[in-house]
């Protein structure tokens, strides 16, 4: 039986990637599972420069966005900014998720709430990763905050690159074709998983298969982890062609 699911995303106002990569992956899922159809709905939080104070101000707008999306009775709501969550302190994705769930419930429109930050952490656990290599577009201080957050969740980062792009629009314009070369200069021998983009704004989907072939390692991105969490929250098969190991079908879950 065909069903159409409404996918809600809370995105930074300058984000241009999650409204392209997430729909692309879910539409690719529909090719394999034609009974699963999706529509896409967004609410925006103001943010132009990826700096800690601007991220905190942006995060304060997430409650309004959750309410707006709950007015549309979305089936799942995703907070699509990893660094905004991780910059708020270790474990904050759980705080954010609980608060936004309360907001939607208070509007009579309860729906699963996920965050890209929490999705990345959970995906690494699902994949059994202990050691990871990581690429991020942020300035070094913010990249360090992200790495500290991930380390606090129990993972070791064996190598990393910060591309130091402060303007969020420029992050969205970063050419994914450059990512294989960036990874080629990293030491990933001991990594269980390569996080090719620890950012939902830096495009990476087009490079995942190439980097997996190049390194022989599973490759994960923040957007891929988000799609896995979306599919799981909807009790749908976590399969998307061309989106790397996590969405290959190798990591099923017990359906409700």
Hunting for tokens 């132009």 — which residue is that? 48
Transcribe 96-150 into DSSP letters: HHHHHHHHHHHTT----EEEHHHHHHHHHHHTT-SEEEEEE-S-HHHHHHHHHHH
Catalytic choice (22, 25, 58, 81) = 81
Cβ contacts of residue 172 below 8 Å, gap of 6+? 14, 15, 16, 17, 201, 202, 203
Burial of 11 (0-12, 13-18, 19+ CB in 10 A): buried
Catalytically annotated residue among 199, 211, 227, 230: 199
The pair of structure tokens assigned to 18 is 């999650």
**65 labelled catalytic:** no
Integer Rg of the chain from CA:
17
199 is catalytic: yes
Q: So which residues are the catalytic ones? A: 81, 199
């Amino acid at each position: 039986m065909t069903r159409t699911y409404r996918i809600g995303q809370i995105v930074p106002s300058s984000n241009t990637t999650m409204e392209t990569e997430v729909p692309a992956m879910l539409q690719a899922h529909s090719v394999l599972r034609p009974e699963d159809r999706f529509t896409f709905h967004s609410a925006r939080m103001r943010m132009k420069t990826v700096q800690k104070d601007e991220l905190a101000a942006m995060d304060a707008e997430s409650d309004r966005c959750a309410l707006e999306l709950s007015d549309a009775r979305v089936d799942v709501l995703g907070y699509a900014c990893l660094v905004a969550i991780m910059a708020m302190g270790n474990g904050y994705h759980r705080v954010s998720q609980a608060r936004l769930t309360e907001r939607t419930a208070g509007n009579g429109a309860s729906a699963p709430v996920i965050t890209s930050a929490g999705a990345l952490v959970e995906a690494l656990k699902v994949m059994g990763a202990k050691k990871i290599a990581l690429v991020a577009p942020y300035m070094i201080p913010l990249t360090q905050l992200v790495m500290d957050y991930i380390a606090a969740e129990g993972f070791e980062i064996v190598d990393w690159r910060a591309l130091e792009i402060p303007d969020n629009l420029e992050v969205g314009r970063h050419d994914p074709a450059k990512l294989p070369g960036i990874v080629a200069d990293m030491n990933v021998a001991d990594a269980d998983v390569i996080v090719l983009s620890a950012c939902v704004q830096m495009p990476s989907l087009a490079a995942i298969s190439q980097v997996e072939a190049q390194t022989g390692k599973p490759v994960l991105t923040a957007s891929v982890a988000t799609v896995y969490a979306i599919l799981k929250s909807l009790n749908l098969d976590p399969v998307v062609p061309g989106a790397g190991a996590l969405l290959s079908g190798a990591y099923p879950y017990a359906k409700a």
